């Protein structure tokens, strides 16, 4: 149906009057043009013309409804001002009067090589996270078990918080069109990482004992986390993989050939971290110098971001504690429990990939449905499907790992339960990414602290809290941890409930 056929009688009358006025203008000089007052039109037409600049390419009535609600229109306003039962009925008519849709832009399909490359880039993050792990046995032989555990916990927590805050600040600056500021943040954060690691290592050695090897290990681990952050930010994952491959190969050789190569393995790992770190710093400096845009001072630019940076830092700290507090007591003597997190870390890239794909899929859903209820049902089904994928991804290597441990005769029921808990964390971290994308850091931290409290608190009551020195049943402790992870998933669902089904977030 054409737009002309949609005009109401008042508008047709206005067109006739305008045509008559035009005929008067073409008349002879002796005749006069009569100026008539503006004819009032349907208020809905006024609304259509008012929203046309922002909704001229709306793909469906749900988009229109989201825009009208964001503009403050309520169901009562729709009834009183326009005579429609609710905002969605009004939006349907507004969408109809806006006219025919423009063709939808062509989107990248699953067969698009660029889409596949981007997906593989994200999936590869998991293996990159575990690439230096083959050097840990050699480092263990040098620094000792107790020092290795304390160093790993301290370095992982510090690096997690430091890298998360740096990445968030850099992405915010890049989103605001300030690439130089983003590069400066990454440069300063990366350059400060070894210093922070060395100071933290020195403090740990002073309190608990150890030696220069422990300080060097913590320094290298923190530097590696910031190195990977910078190279991932600039999409140079391949450079990171090439730089760390020698460390992986020499570490694997030590595992196969045994004693005699521990010094070589640790030394090559340190050299590879130093090489990758140098590349990352030079890359960040290069991007900062190459940015030709004049930008405000970094201090001024970051001032509005302080609350978000504090939230990201708190979220990183809680995430590190959540992941490390359960397994740390078993790193010294229970191999099957100590390596239970390996399948999750290996497939964290898959979780990142599915979190990255969630919004485009939700936007596509907005375009395909007509009513809000359909969208709400659809987006929750989408979440359930993505959570299932993020559970399946770590489950596959977990089953393979458990089979190997069982064949070696070192698998216990506690190891199976702890591995299941880390598989469940895959779905929890997907929802955590979605909540972080909505800046729900307060809910994230509160939920994680609640899960940690339940695990440790119930373990203390039942005499199975090794973190507090109560070495009871390992099976009971790991079962409590699995229960706390399931509680965490439920809390994340509650956090998503008020925001997941709001179409305006996917416009």
Q: What is the pLDDT of residues 34-72, one digit of tens each?
A: 444 444 456 777 777 777 777 656 656 667 777 777 777
DSSP letter at 471? -
Strands (E), 360-493: none
Compute the average pLDDT of residues 74-95. 75
Q: Cβ(415)–Cβ(402) under 8 Å?
A: yes
The percentage of residues in the chain with a pLDDT greater than 90, rounded to a whole number, is 42
Q: Rounded distance, CA 507 to CA 99, Å?
A: 19
Q: Rounded distance, CA 421 to CA 474, Å?
A: 14
If you search the block for the tokens 């899960």, which residue do you land on? 451
What's the domain range around 43?
4-97
Return the CA Rg of the chain.
30
More confident site: 6 or 385: 385
Compute the average pLDDT of residues 283-288. 92
Q: What is the dihedral of CA 108, 110, 115, 119, to 10 degrees?
A: 150
| pLDDT exceeds 70 at position 182 | yes
The percentage of residues in the chain with a pLDDT greater than 70, rounded to a whole number, is 85
Q: Rounded distance, CA 87 to CA 145, Å?
A: 64
DSSP letter at 60? S
Q: Are residues 208 and 342 in the same domain?
A: no
pLDDT of residue 452: 95
Q: Are residues 313 and 349 in the same domain?
A: no
Q: Are residues 346 and 294 in the same domain?
A: no
Q: Which residues pair with 470 in a beta bridge?
A: 465
pLDDT of residue 113: 61
Cα distances from 358 to residues 178, 316, 362, 381, 393, in angstroms, run 26, 22, 6, 12, 16
106 found inside a domain: no
pLDDT of residue 114: 67
If you search the block for the tokens 């994200």, which residue do you land on? 122
| pLDDT exceeds 70 at position 6 | no
Q: Rounded distance, CA 120 to CA 111, Å?
A: 13
Q: Considering Cα of 289, then 295, then 296, then 299, what sign does the dihedral take?
A: negative
pLDDT of residue 111: 53
Q: Are residues 342 and 489 in the same domain?
A: yes
384 found inside a domain: yes
Compute the average pLDDT of residues 280-291. 90
Q: What is the mean pLDDT of the chain?
A: 82
For the chain, the straight-line distance linking the first and the last C-alpha, in angstroms and rounded, comes to: 27
Show the tokens assigned to 177: 């069109």
pLDDT of residue 42: 64
119 found inside a domain: no
Q: Are residues 272 and 162 in the same domain?
A: yes
What does 474-503 look like in DSSP terms, one character per residue? HHHHHHHHHHHHHHHHHHHHHHHHHHHT-G
Q: Cβ(433)–Cβ(355) under 8 Å?
A: yes
Contacts of 314 (CB under 8 A, 6+ apart): 441, 445
Q: Rounded distance, CA 487 to CA 407, Å?
A: 33
Nearest alpha-carbon partner for 207 in 266, 147, 158, 130: 147
103 found inside a domain: no
| pLDDT exceeds 90 at position 130 | no
Show the tokens assigned to 57: 């390419």
pLDDT of residue 4: 45
Q: Rounded distance, CA 394 to CA 246, Å?
A: 26
pLDDT of residue 494: 96
30 found inside a domain: yes
Q: Are residues 36 and 150 in the same domain?
A: no
Angle at 36 between CA 32 and CA 38, to 5 degrees: 155
Q: Are residues 341 and 404 in the same domain?
A: yes
DSSP letter at 32? -
Compute the average pLDDT of residues 75-81. 74
pLDDT of residue 104: 46
Q: Indicate the pLDDT class of residue 292, thresholds 50, 70 and 90.
A: low
Q: Rounded distance, CA 349 to CA 128, Å?
A: 9
* Number of domains composing the chain: 3
Compute the average pLDDT of residues 293-309. 81
Q: Indicate the pLDDT class of residue 133, thresholds 50, 70 and 90.
A: confident
Q: Are residues 77 and 197 in the same domain?
A: no
More confident site: 478 or 502: 478
Nearest alpha-carbon partner for 234 in 275, 309, 291, 274: 291
Q: Indicate the pLDDT class of residue 467, thresholds 50, 70 and 90.
A: confident
Phi, psi of 111 (to 5 degrees): -85, -5
Q: Cβ(186)–Cβ(365) under 8 Å?
A: no
Query: Burial level of 110, CB count in 10 A (0-12/13-18/19+)?
Result: exposed
Q: Are residues 371 and 317 in the same domain?
A: no
pLDDT of residue 363: 85
Nearest alpha-carbon partner for 143 in 249, 199, 195, 220: 220
108 found inside a domain: no
The SS3 assignment for 470 reads strand
pLDDT of residue 110: 46
Q: Cβ(92)–Cβ(57) under 8 Å?
A: no
pLDDT of residue 100: 52
480 found inside a domain: yes
Q: Rounded distance, CA 473 to CA 40, Å?
A: 81
Q: Cβ(86)–Cβ(394) under 8 Å?
A: no
More confident site: 281 or 91: 281
Q: Are residues 355 and 309 in the same domain?
A: no
> pLDDT, tens digit, for every residue of 385-401?
999 999 999 999 999 99
pLDDT of residue 57: 60
| Domain end marker among 272, 307, 324 | 324
pLDDT of residue 194: 94
Q: Are residues 60 and 135 in the same domain?
A: no
115 found inside a domain: no
Q: Indicate the pLDDT class of residue 261, thresholds 50, 70 and 90.
A: confident
Compute the average pLDDT of residues 245-263. 84
pLDDT of residue 120: 85
More confident site: 378 or 105: 378
Q: Are residues 249 and 181 in the same domain?
A: yes
Per-range mean pLDDT, top range of 300-314, 465-479, 485-499: 485-499
Q: Rounded distance, CA 126 to CA 348, Å?
A: 5
């Amino acid at each position: 149906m054409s737009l002309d056929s949609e005009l109401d009688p008042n508008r047709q009358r206005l067109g006739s009057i305008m045509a008559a006025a035009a005929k008067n203008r073409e008349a002879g000089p002796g005749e006069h043009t009569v100026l008539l007052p503006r004819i009032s039109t349907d208020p809905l037409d006024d609304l259509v013309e008012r929203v046309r600049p922002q909704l001229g390419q709306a793909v469906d009535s749900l988009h229109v409804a989201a825009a009208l609600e964001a503009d403050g229109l309520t169901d009562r306003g729709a009834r009183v001002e326009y005579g429609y039962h609710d905002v969605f009925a009004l939006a349907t008519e507004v969408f109809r009067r806006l006219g025919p849709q423009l063709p939808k832009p062509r989107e990248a399909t699953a067969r698009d090589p660029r889409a596949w490359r981007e997906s593989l880039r994200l999936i590869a993050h998991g293996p990159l996270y575990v690439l230096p792990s083959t050097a840990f046995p050699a480092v263990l032989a040098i620094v000792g078990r107790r020092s290795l555990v304390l160093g790993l916990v301290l370095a992982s927590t510090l690096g997690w918080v430091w890298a998360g805050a740096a990445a968030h600040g850099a992405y915010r600056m890049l989103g605001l069109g300030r690439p130089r500021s983003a590069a400066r943040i990454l440069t300063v954060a990366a350059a400060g990482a070894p210093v922070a690691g060395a100071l933290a290592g020195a403090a740990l050695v002073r309190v608990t004992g150890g030696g220069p090897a422990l300080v060097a290990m913590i320094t290298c681990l923190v530097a590696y986390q910031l190195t990977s952050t910078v190279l991932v930010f600039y999409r140079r994952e391949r450079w990171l993989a090439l730089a760390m491959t020698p460390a992986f190969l020499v570490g694997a050789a030590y595992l196969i050939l045994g004693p005699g190569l521990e010094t070589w393995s640790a030394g090559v790992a340190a050299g590879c971290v130093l090489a990758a770190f140098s590349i990352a710093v030079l890359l960040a400096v290069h991007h900062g110098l190459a940015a030709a845009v004049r930008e405000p001072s970094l201090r001024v630019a970051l001032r509005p971001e302080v609350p978000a940076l504090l939230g990201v830092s708190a979220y990183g700290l809680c995430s590190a504690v959540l992941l490390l507090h359960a397994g740390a007591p078993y790193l010294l003597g229970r191999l099957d429990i100590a390596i239970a997190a390996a399948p999750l870390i290996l497939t964290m890239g898959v979780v990142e990939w599915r979190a990255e794909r969630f919004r485009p899929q939700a936007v596509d859903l907005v375009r395909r449905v007509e009513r809000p209820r359909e969208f709400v049902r659809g987006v929750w089904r989408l979440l359930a499907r993505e959570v299932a994928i993020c559970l399946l991804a770590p489950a596959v290597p977990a089953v393979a790992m458990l089979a190997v441990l069982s064949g070696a005769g070192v698998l216990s029921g506690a190891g199976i339960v702890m591995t299941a808990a880390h598989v469940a964390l895959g779905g929890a971290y997907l929802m955590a990414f979605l909540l972080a994308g909505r800046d729900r850091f307060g809910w994230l931290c509160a939920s994680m602290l609640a899960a940690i409290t339940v695990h440790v608190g119930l373990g203390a009551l039942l005499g199975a809290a090794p973190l507090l020195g109560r070495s009871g049943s390992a099976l009971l402790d790991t079962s409590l941890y699995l229960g706390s992870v399931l509680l965490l998933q439920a809390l994340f669902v509650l956090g998503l409930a008020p925001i997941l089904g709001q179409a305006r977030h996917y416009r």
